[in-house]
Amino acid sequence: MASKPCILQILVLVFIFLPFTNSIHFKFPSIFNFGDSNSDTGELVSAGIESLEPPHGQSYFQVPSGRYCDGRLIIDFLMDAMDLPFLNAYLDSIGIPSFRKGCNFAAAGSTIQPASAQAVSPFSFGVQVAQFVRFKARVLELLAKGNRLDKYLPAQDYFQKGLYMFDIGQNDLAGAFYSKTYDQILALIPMILIEFETGIKALYDQGARNFWIHNTGPLGCLAQNVVKFGTDPSSLDEQGCVSKHNQAAKTFNLQLHALTKKLQGQYTDSNFTYVDIYTIKYNLISNYSKLGFEQPIMACCGFGGPPLNYDTRIACGKTKEINGATVTAKACNDSSEYVNWDGIHYSEAANQYVSSQILTGKYSDPPFSDKMPFLLNLKF
């Protein structure tokens, strides 16, 4: 008789190799995004939980924009590609923000699992979904009162016709390494994904029908994790990334892919697209020089110098006293030469490359290259 782990592995593989019945079409009136700092366009900063100083935003916005980056994020490039404006954060209430084309609930530091008291962000996936439910109810309430706010709010049918995007899970895994063993982290993954599935079902019940799900990237290639967990050279792979972090990410992604397949089978009136961000980012790190980059892992904006230029005591743009001296975590001369911006997040140049690969369609299940009505102007 097969053991339970073996049966689970077989089921995972069955789900992954079953073809999706539906394929995504990129003609959406609105986008609703859920996630962490990989796609946060100002949520955590708007909540007053953190602040960002220059040089954040320097490569595109010229000032900090609420993004943990020198410029644009992957979601910004995807919005551009779909000829839609950048998404405003749900909590960004200053300057008469328009939510006509969607809303961004992603917040830096967020997890799929409910936030702990020590978490950077209280806006876990369940909270973000609850915020969406409140957002939708309030929009419909205001629309019912007349058309005075039409240009600021999504139309009622946008909630069903829109695209729901997800990039979350990285912090669940990365955070777990500080308190759990590798085996404990692997055992935690099914519970994390149960929470994710609950959120997806809640959105489906609210009318969502188009789901775009990013898997998680190679956590072990972030300078933050190399500094903490990569001191023993035997713990690193050939690219200088922490092997166990990457293996945990791949295990998470395998099960997320299977879940996406299962959901497509359950909700046949919907479209589920799974995007392999891990492979795109790891390929970038492995072939950085061929792609025009100089540094695959070292942070552009940080403190400490080579080989990683990352110090856990001071974040990009901050000034602190360290070992009796006042220091500032400054940016490198040219962030476009760096894959990593601040030791945790990717640079705008790297985000542009990742977006270009997403838009080939070949890293998605199902692939969608024949469905694309757009092209992205690329540097690469």
Catalytic (active-site) positions: 37, 342, 345
In whole angstroms, what is the distance from residue 336 CA to residue 332 CA? 10
Strands 319-322 and 325-328 come out as: antiparallel
